[in-house]
Structure 1
Amino acid sequence: LTHRQSMSDTLLCLKLNSEKLYHLGIGKAINKSTLSRANESRDWRIYQDYALKLIDQAKKMYEGQNQLEVNLKGRVFALDSTTVDLCLEVFLWAPFRSTKAAVKIHTLLDLKTSIPEFIFISAGNVHDVKAMDLIPVQKGSYYIMDKAYVDFKRLYIIKQEKAYFVVRAKENLQFRRIKSRAPDKEIGILCDQDILLTGINSSNRYPEPLRRIKFYDAEFERTFVFLTNNFKIKAQTVTQLYKHRWGIELFFKWIKQNLKVQSFWGFSENAVKTQIWIAISVYVLVLIARKKLKLTNSPYEIIQYISLAPFEKRALHNVFLNIENQDIKELKYIQLKII
């Protein structure tokens, strides 16, 4: 929260504010070895379980909220991952490429509320589609994904669970058109087709019809092809759903930039996962505080204000009295381009 750059930096901050620590439950001085031992040996699953409890609490508080342009009955999720590069020489447990290490944070984000539904932390060499085997598939919900998740066996499982997906098609897609709907080139819909896959493997893994929509984004002069198993919603709605997928990119950006997940204070798997789950806990706590205190400030603004006054002995809501909403544009992903 306070953007300290190291464990030593943190200890200095605590030392300078030693007379203010008692009300935080810190009754005695802390040394570096104590924090280092905790970082290495205190099980990261403690922080995972705490984050998941907070997520459950936040989901109840934000139930029924919809910050999307589209109004669909089911929940709308984006599935994606972000990679945090590490040094292979000291993070041997997290292989990625021959010369570097990394961790991946696989996330299923509820786009209506910006609350994570599922998070899985892996070594960098774990392929994105592996997360599809772990996510909870809910009937009637929508799962928005990019090309990395085009795995027709796994997509067919989503269909069998009576849920929907929207995914960008790969360029080498083999298919046969069985039906066409009228295009609407004024809004960029170049074609709207029902298709059957004709590839040897893909046709066996997904034997039923799919919907293929080709869309031209005039603003950025790019063409996109989407696949979905929903044949009822408008083609424009499909393109809007994919545009909202960028909410998860901003979630990753927010976590990395504001909650110290670009550098780590320990080399072990336990230390790295501890730091990531604490960051996620702080993100969800900000959302909970925002709802409880009925704040209109963005999560970005809230965390900036808290970072300036972490040791203040006053109620949190008083920190935001007489502070105008700055309307930070960073989180307004609805206005972002579709790419």
Structure 2
Amino acid sequence: MDKNTLFMLFGKWINPINFLNFQEEIVKLQQDKYVKKLTTKAFLLLMLHAQLHEKESLRAISDGLLDEDLQAELGLDSISASQLSRKNNEVDPSLLSRVFLDLVQEIQSHRHHSIPKRMPLKIIDSSTIPLNLTHYRWAEFRKTKSGVKLHLRLVFADHHQAYPDKVTITNAREHDRNQLEVLVDDKNVMYVFDRGYMDYKTFDYYFDEGIFFASRLKKNAVVRILESFSVTEGSPITSDSMVVCGTPQSRTENVFRLIETVDTKGNQIRILTNRFDISAEEIGEIYRSRWAIELFFKWLKQHVRIKKFYGMSETALQNQIYIALITYCLLVLLRLETDAKQSLLQLKRWLQVLLWKSYESFLKRIHFRKKQQLKGVP
């Protein structure tokens, strides 16, 4: 990246990527050993550009190189769809996974990243991406269906600060519970997950190891109430109890806390936790934060290219998912860097339009919008 690129918005957007480490990994994995034209770095930048603009196919990505600014950035004046396809199938997904994890560290260490007043929350969930069985036989999980499952952990500070920090990609047949061992690895946070992760032995292990969690309990789960506590009048909490869960044949060894509350539609929700040091209302609010990961998956599927893929191999699919996550992290870092209050979607739209303009023009747009908001302009 030359000095002129850094003054452009595109250069500023991709600047958090540690290209020195990236190049070292490329050499170590011999990714560019016989490459004459499309280097792995150029491939990454081109695919990030494609994700930002939600390009629908490799041919559309190839045609995008008619843009002279993009040509100058990549050092390429053209590339065929077939060359892109080969590169997409050759790049080691671990290389892009490392870029993603490095960006997560950048987000966590950013000076504008506020420290939450309460114990940090990490929300765990998965999303299934359906695939065409004819083209993705390797991902078959039913007789008539193929698919992969994106298992993800989302760091949640508030509704304006949420980002993924760990991900695994498996066949869609993989049960969510099997990924808890990978996604739960820190005693200094509180984990939140849905009833698909319910496992009494695992919950007992968390209790013994001092790993805090809140999980929705299945409707048919058997519980035995040992003690009930009073609840505040007018509170959304309907009950607060100490319980053991399960049948005599398979029961928790430890005593847990069961909170019963209602959602916005009036449906009853039962939340199991090993936190006894905070109020039932706080437990209810913590579990409601789980909705942030649903919004995250919705954002990914609507605003980057993750539902339809540029290649049919497992490698190509994983590469596209990691590049989509890298795109998201770069947008988060851009918002932190500029201290912008706009949504990521708004920043993404401005980025698309001003991509080859100066970074200063992007900052002026943000500050202009702030002034409008201060004046009450919608």
- The reply to whether TM is greater than 0.5 is yes
Paired residues of 2:124 and 2:192 also in contact (CA < 8 A): yes
Change (3 A) 1:36 1:171: same
Query: 1:201 offset after TM fit, Å?
Result: 4.7
Q: How does 1:157-176 map to 2 (within 5 A)?
A: 157-176=205-224
Q: 1:97, CA displacement in angstroms?
A: 2.2
Q: Structure 1 residue 185: deviation in Å?
A: 4.6
Kept in 2: contact 1:211–1:228 (CA 8 A): yes
Q: Per-residue deviation at 1:223?
A: 0.9
Cα distance change, pair 282–201 in 1 and its aligned pair in 2 (3 A): farther
Is 2:204 the counterpart of 1:156?
Answer: yes
Corresponding residue SS for 2:315:
helix
Q: Is the 8 A contact 2:103 2:330 kept in 1?
A: yes
How big is each residue's C-alpha offset from its partner over 1:27-66, in whole Å with a ceiling of 9 and x where there is no partner?
A: 3321112101101112121111111111111111165434
> 1:2·1:308 contact (CA, 8 Å) conserved in 2?
no
Show CA shifts across 1:90-116 (max 9, x none).
111112322111111101111113121
Aligned match for 1:141, one of 167, 183, 189: 189
Q: Which residue of 2 aligns with 1:37?
A: 86
Superposition pairs for residues 83-122 of structure 1, below 5 Å? 83-112=128-157, 113-122=161-170
Is the partner of 1:134 in helix, strand or coil? helix
Partner of 1:335: none
Q: How many residues align?
A: 315
Matching residue within 234, 241, 244 for 1:193: 241
1:211 matches 2:257 = yes
Structure 2: which 5+ runs fail to align?
Answer: 1-51, 374-378
Which residue does 1:21 correspond to in 2? 70
> 1:293 aligns to what?
338
**1:172 Cα offset (Å):** 1.9
1:182 aligns with 2:214: no
SS at match of 1:105: strand
Contact 1:82 1:104 in 2 (8 A): yes
Maintained 8 Å contact 1:77/1:108: yes
Aligned partner of 2:115 in structure 1 is 65
2:364 is aligned to: 321
CA deviations 1:183-240 (Å, max 9, x no partner) are 235122111000123414542xx301011111123x4121111111111210011110
Aligned-residue identity in percent:
27
Distance in 1, Cα, partners of 2:321 & 2:246: 42
Task: Give the number of the structure whose residues are more often helix, by fraction.
Answer: 2
Maintained 8 Å contact 1:137/1:158: no
Q: Tell me the alpha carbon deviations over residues 242-267 of structure 1, each in whole angstroms, 9 at most, x when there is no partner.
A: 11101111111111111110100100
Instruction: Write the mapping of 1:253-292 to structure 2, written as runs, cut at 5 A.
Output: 253-292=298-337
Q: Deviations over 1:87-143 (max 9, x none)?
A: 111111112322111111101111113121210011111011111011243224211
Query: 2: distance between equivalents of 1:56 and 1:96?
Result: 34
Supply the distance in 2 between the matched residues of 1:37 and 1:119 (Cα, whole angstroms): 25
| Residue of structure 1 equivalent to 2:97 | 48
Q: Quote the offset at 1:13 in angstroms.
A: 2.1
What is the letter of the counterpart of residue 276 of structure 1? I
Measure how far apart 1:156 and its partner are: 2.2
Inter-CA distance 313–188: structure 2 relative to 1 (3 Å threshold)? closer
Does the 8 Å contact 2:338/2:363 carry over to 1? no
Matched, 1:82 2:127: yes
| Aligned-partner residue type, residue 314 of structure 1 | S
1:321 partner amino acid = K
TM-score between the two structures when normalised by the length of structure 2:
0.79
Distance 1:136 1:216, change over 3 A: closer
Letter in 2 for 1:10: I
Shift of 1:22: 4.2
CA distances 1:283-317 after superposition (whole Å, capped 9, x unpaired): 0011111111222222111111112233x1422x5
Runs of 4+ in 1 over 3 A off after TM superposition: 62-66
| 8 Å contact kept, 1:59–1:115 | no
**Residue 14 (structure 2) aligns with:** none
Task: Determine helix, strand or coil for the equivalent of 1:137.
Answer: coil
Q: Which moved more, 1:193-202 or 1:228-237?
A: 193-202
**Partner amino acid for 1:270?**
T
